[in-house]
Chains A and B, each alone.
Chain A
């Protein structure tokens, strides 16, 4: 330890510590620009100069190491004069257009000007004349704004070990760039974006930066997009490092049914994956599936939370993803939880909606078992008709009944024999019951459920299966791979069609369609459909399956205030899921309509937290299951990294999969998983980098 004095303040500090960092940490502001806490000191900008007692002249505090007895002065006329000169020299080559700069308000140089004062205008100003470069994905470079602080160079070389950025000279101007001005992708950039993170000015900027979102959200969009905000880059990194136990623990901190999600998650996260700006997005779902399949249940089991019993009883109606999730966390909070499920087994939509070829039934059983092991009681085959009466026995009730009734569109012939509803069809199919399907099937709808119907029909032996929907091909909500695989299985997809009528006298004979010219929502949010003249199309078939939405099996008798006669109204979709009946909450599809399993999980989590608070708990359902190790910032060089394509899962050919309900997607193999997980840009590593100290921070704290 050493005692040093800065501006009369005595500090006990470790011998040899960085004086600038020490001052900043102790509330003494010293202006600085090239220095960054996470980078090696450079001492090139001369902003952080101080005077040292017993030594003539000034020294840069960023390169000064604390020694016992040091007496440091951070302010004097001479220091001010030299700082001003340094600032003037810096600004001589910097554009004077702060107000139009995208970094306005967040620029460290701007804050230095505010602190040191405006320049005198006695120096020769120049325009460097570089062209703004937006040819690279994710990052924009405007070298005119660069003050050559070298932070990006140090971040790229020393912190990350990627060694892409360096100083170069063009004519008389020094600039930062790649060797021979190659594109970042061709220079083997890892697109970790540390350069943009440490850049004090508007020189290296995020293309995706927006004032409409929190920084964490646009920096790590996958996590932001996941309804449960799973720590995606973190578990991808664990998988890449071969640490599946850690990976599943990270996943389980947010997702109580990770294995189910590993098979069928709609992965909105991957749509936002920044990797897709370079090559294919990360196969996030398949990596999660791999980790979940390899779950040895060690790390997370050891840290799993279970609060002591509270004596409160909760009934959850419905054992689907929302109900299971809510029940699991409510139990962990110490409540006595019973799930009442109408069907013979738990799983809800995942068991009676999603076909077994996508989600094997033992996967569901395994997830349910873990939840039961936590102490949740599941009563199957119990249909709750009067939810309000449950309050006689339970302290709180959660309605998580999902959307189990198919929607029949209003059109001629919609109730002819041979017309089936998605929910009924898939449920019967899942239970091995007679579905009433004929030989020639026409599915109406373009979502994943429609494809579940169509592909199940193929597997049940339909001779022809057509699928038609209103949306154009690129607007269809089904996953692309669903559509492609369905076509491989012989399903004919007809996008952009209006359903005119179902033909037939006493049984379905087919459907009349017309081609859609335009489909949009007007200013009143009403759907407007323009049809193409003379585009009538008739498809023959003996079975029509409506796959145009589902709704909860509820009516006014339930006692709830309902929306459009079926969906339960809650006080606030996110923050207060209590229904019109106090003590009864609702979550999942029965509140907001058919969305995704992961959204139901998150809805269940939120409900659990709110019910816990309702029952007197603190509502904190969070858990730390994984080791809290920060990611290794030194990511190193990988040749051709930007161009790496996604590893394909092993998928059985159509001929082998179309006549049975066996799982056909075998996921990413052991050999490829590390490579696939290693493609992640690790956008989250950026957030480990310290936010720089600016004068503003100190000014505010002084006023307060």
Chain B
């Protein structure tokens, strides 16, 4: 309670003074000085003559929701921060807005929230209805609470390569935080960056969703972008044309590319739709999610060309380009692979070379594990000539000659 009690005791002007003096920042996609952030909200509310409310939330575009850890681990901090934001802005009340699926988390907070005078709701933030409210990121709430309990340390919260959230200095280079020596790309926030770009400061690249993650040669950029865009598509509320329909188109183009059905036109179309989404949507959902595809296609075009033109996935991740085959020279016709295949797509009988139907096969790899002769291979490269009908063990090569 102490941070909130301290702020309350100080009064609004002193609270604002302190926020300014401590150079606090608003976290998330709006990254700017907190004092400016509050002032802008006050001006918007004044222009409309509306009552202001302080709303603590995640960015709509945030599909990973790593910042919810802060709420789970230190709910008092977040609630105090929201209440302090209300004091600072002169807002009538404070609301903690949690994602719609986090009903249990919200329920567990309600009692405590009442002590701070904070209302807890489960909603997708409707940007139009909150134009005159002070929107503060949940991470900013933690900073505000820390600032008023004397435990504030400057920096940006980030979960580096899937580790727990921790503060990293905003002026440190990204390349000093993660090892980019083996990196193909680095995801910072809602975009992918080349290792060279990682010489920029963390604050400049702004991991707004808390994510800094290295992608190596084993990661496929297209597959990553496709999955991330799918998550965005699922999260979009769908009220605005460019976000709803744009994400559907972007996701389609990404996933088609992973499936080997990509076209070179996708690159231009992604650019056109993605850039338009940036200024044709009102909230981070459309604005930020478009950056995933834009940065992936813009900076890693060679990866896309490999998928589209060479029909291969350099990382060997996209299963459409992966083949599993039985080496006809080694197969003993034991039938172990046939027994484990969940799709029933292996043809064979004792003492005959077994064959995998590549259209039915979903590349699960169970046969590879089952084969004691180690004659079943996974490859993204060239496949040797294989029998096209059941052939007796040992007869295949002879036939060729």
* Residue A416 CB within 8 A of the other chain: no
* Residue B264 CB within 8 A of the other chain: no
* Residue B306 CB within 8 A of the other chain: no
* Residue B74 CB within 8 A of the other chain: no
Q: B234–A172 contact, CB under 8 A?
A: yes
Q: B279–A57 contact, CB under 8 A?
A: yes
Q: A42–B237 contact, CB under 8 A?
A: no
Q: A44–B249 contact, CB under 8 A?
A: no
If the complex has contacts A85-B273, A86-B280, are A124 and B248 also in contact, measured as CB distance less than 8 A? yes
Q: A172–B233 contact, CB under 8 A?
A: yes
Q: A82–B238 contact, CB under 8 A?
A: no
* Residue B246 CB within 8 A of the other chain: yes
* Residue A122 CB within 8 A of the other chain: yes
Nearest Cβ distance between residue B277 and chain A, in whole angstroms?
10
Which of A89-97, A267-275, A652-660 lies at the binding interface?
A89-97
Interface size on B, residues (CB 8 A): 25
Q: A167–B237 contact, CB under 8 A?
A: yes
Q: Of B241, B244, B269, B282, which is in contact with the most chain A CB atoms at under 10 Å from its CB?
A: B241
Q: B272–A174 contact, CB under 8 A?
A: no
Of A57, A167, A172, which is within 8 A of B239 by CB? A167
B interface footprint on A57-87 (CB within 8 Å = 1, 0 otherwise): 1100000000000000000000000100110
How far, in angstroms, from A89 to B272 measured CA to CA in the complex? 12
Q: A46–B233 contact, CB under 8 A?
A: no
Q: Give the chain B neighbours of A172 by CB distance below 8 A.
A: 233-234, 248
Q: A169–B238 contact, CB under 8 A?
A: yes
* Residue B303 CB within 8 A of the other chain: no
* Residue B242 CB within 8 A of the other chain: yes
How far, in angstroms, from A54 to B234 measured CA to CA in the complex? 38
Q: B280–A174 contact, CB under 8 A?
A: no
Q: Which residue of A lies closest to B280 (CB)?
A: A46
How far, in angstroms, from A89 to B242 measured CA to CA in the complex? 7
Q: Give the chain B neighbours of A334 by CB distance below 8 A.
A: none
Q: Give the chain B neighbours of A45 by CB distance below 8 A.
A: 241
If the complex has contacts A85-B273, A122-B265, A169-B237, are A174 and B244 also in contact, measured as CB distance less than 8 A? yes
Q: B242–A46 contact, CB under 8 A?
A: yes
Q: Of B246, B253, B280, B282, which is in contact with the most chain A CB atoms at under 10 Å from its CB?
A: B280
Q: Give the chain A neighbours of B253 by CB distance below 8 A.
A: 124
Nearest Cβ distance between residue B330 and chain A, in whole angstroms?
43
* Residue B386 CB within 8 A of the other chain: no
How far, in angstroms, from A58 to B278 measured CA to CA in the complex? 12
How far, in angstroms, from A642 to B273 measured CA to CA in the complex? 45
Q: B128–A42 contact, CB under 8 A?
A: yes
Q: B280–A93 contact, CB under 8 A?
A: no
How far, in angstroms, from A92 to B269 measured CA to CA in the complex? 14
Q: B237–A46 contact, CB under 8 A?
A: no
Q: Which residue of B lies closest to A126 (CB)?
A: B248
Q: Which residue of A lies closest to B251 (CB)?
A: A172
* Residue A123 CB within 8 A of the other chain: yes
Of B233, B234, B245, which is within 8 A of A90 by CB? B245
Nearest Cβ distance between residue A343 and chain B, in whole angstroms?
70
Q: Which residue of A lies closest to B273 (CB)?
A: A85
How far, in angstroms, from A42 to B240 measured CA to CA in the complex? 9
Q: Of A43, A58, A86, A89, which is in contact with the most chain B CB atoms at under 10 Å from its CB?
A: A89
Nearest Cβ distance between residue B293 and chain A, in whole angstroms?
14
Q: B241–A86 contact, CB under 8 A?
A: yes
Q: Which residue of B lies closest to A122 (CB)?
A: B269
* Residue A598 CB within 8 A of the other chain: no
Q: Which residue of A lies closest to B234 (CB)?
A: A172
Nearest Cβ distance between residue A78 and chain B, in whole angstroms?
11
How far, in angstroms, from A45 to B281 measured CA to CA in the complex? 10
* Residue B252 CB within 8 A of the other chain: yes
Of B238, B252, B265, B269, which is within 8 A of A148 by CB? B238
* Residue B276 CB within 8 A of the other chain: yes
Q: Give the chain B neighbours of A124 by CB distance below 8 A.
A: 248-249, 252-253
Q: Give the chain B neighbours of A58 by CB distance below 8 A.
A: 279
How far, in angstroms, from A169 to B124 measured CA to CA in the complex? 12
Q: A85–B272 contact, CB under 8 A?
A: yes
Q: A44–B241 contact, CB under 8 A?
A: yes
Of B233, B245, B280, which is within 8 A of A82 by CB? B280
Q: Give the chain A neighbours of B236 by CB distance below 8 A.
A: 174
How far, in angstroms, from A172 to B279 measured CA to CA in the complex? 23
Q: A44–B239 contact, CB under 8 A?
A: yes
Which residues of B in the span 211-246 have a Cβ within 8 Å of any Cβ on A? Answer: 233-234, 236-242, 244-246
How far, in angstroms, from A57 to B269 measured CA to CA in the complex? 20
* Residue A150 CB within 8 A of the other chain: yes
Q: Give the chain A neighbours of B279 by CB distance below 8 A.
A: 57-58
How far, in angstroms, from A85 to B277 measured CA to CA in the complex? 10
Of B248, B269, B276, which is within 8 A of A93 by CB? B248
How far, in angstroms, from A280 to B297 measured CA to CA in the complex? 62
Nearest Cβ distance between residue B353 and chain A, in whole angstroms?
41
Q: Give the chain B neighbours of A92 by CB distance below 8 A.
A: 245, 248-249
Q: Give the chain A neighbours of B282 by CB distance below 8 A.
A: 43
Q: Give the chain B neighbours of A147 by CB distance below 8 A.
A: 241
How far, in angstroms, from A124 to B242 measured CA to CA in the complex? 14
Nearest Cβ distance between residue A670 and chain B, in whole angstroms?
42
Q: Which residue of B lies closest to A57 (CB)?
A: B279
Q: Give the chain B neighbours of A126 by CB distance below 8 A.
A: 248
Nearest Cβ distance between residue A120 and chain B, in whole angstroms?
10
Q: A89–B234 contact, CB under 8 A?
A: no
If the complex has contacts A42-B128, A82-B276, are A150 and B239 also in contact, measured as CB distance less than 8 A? yes
Q: Which residue of A lies closest to B243 (CB)?
A: A44
How far, in angstroms, from A147 to B252 measured CA to CA in the complex? 19
Q: B245–A93 contact, CB under 8 A?
A: yes
Q: A174–B248 contact, CB under 8 A?
A: no
How far, in angstroms, from A92 to B248 measured CA to CA in the complex? 9
Of A42, A85, A173, which is within 8 A of B276 by CB? A85
Q: Give the chain B neighbours of A93 by CB distance below 8 A.
A: 245, 248
Nearest Cβ distance between residue A153 and chain B, in whole angstroms?
9
Q: Which residue of B lies closest to A89 (CB)?
A: B245
Nearest Cβ distance between residue B297 and chain A, in whole angstroms?
16
How far, in angstroms, from A93 to B272 measured CA to CA in the complex? 19
How far, in angstroms, from A167 to B240 measured CA to CA in the complex? 11
Q: Which residue of A lies closest to B230 (CB)?
A: A172
Q: Which residue of B lies closest to A41 (CB)?
A: B128
A interface footprint on B251-287 (CB within 8 Å = 1, 0 otherwise): 0110000000000010001001100100110100000
Q: Give the chain A neighbours of B233 by CB distance below 8 A.
A: 172
Q: Give the chain B neighbours of A174 by CB distance below 8 A.
A: 236-239, 244
Q: Give the chain A neighbours of B242 by CB distance below 8 A.
A: 46, 86, 89
Q: B249–A89 contact, CB under 8 A?
A: yes
Nearest Cβ distance between residue B316 and chain A, in whole angstroms?
27
How far, in angstroms, from A147 to B265 measured CA to CA in the complex? 26
A interface footprint on B58-70 (CB within 8 Å = 1, 0 otherwise): 0000000000000
Q: Which residue of B lies closest to A45 (CB)?
A: B241
How far, in angstroms, from A434 to B253 measured CA to CA in the complex? 94
Q: Which residue of A lies closest to B269 (CB)?
A: A122
Q: Give the chain A neighbours of B252 by CB distance below 8 A.
A: 124
Nearest Cβ distance between residue B275 and chain A, in whole angstroms?
10
If the complex has contacts A148-B239, A169-B237, are A123 and B244 also in contact, measured as CB distance less than 8 A? no
Nearest Cβ distance between residue B234 and chain A, in whole angstroms?
6
Q: Give the chain B neighbours of A173 by CB distance below 8 A.
A: 238
Which residues of A in the span 115-136 have a Cβ within 8 Å of any Cβ on B? Answer: 122-124, 126
| Nearest 6 Cβ contacts at the A-B interface | A174-B238, A89-B245, A44-B240, A124-B252, A46-B280, A45-B241
| 16 intermolecular pairs with C-beta atoms under 8 Å apart | A44-B239, A46-B242, A82-B276, A82-B280, A85-B273, A85-B276, A90-B245, A92-B249, A122-B265, A124-B249, A124-B252, A147-B241, A148-B241, A150-B239, A169-B238, A174-B238
Given A89-B242, A92-B249, 20 further pairs, Cβ under 8 A: A43-B128, A46-B280, A82-B280, A85-B272, A86-B242, A89-B245, A89-B273, A90-B245, A92-B245, A93-B248, A123-B269, A124-B252, A124-B253, A126-B248, A148-B238, A148-B241, A167-B238, A169-B237, A173-B238, A174-B238
Give the A-binding residues of B (Cβ under 8 A). 128, 233-234, 236-242, 244-246, 248-249, 252-253, 265, 269, 272-273, 276, 279-280, 282
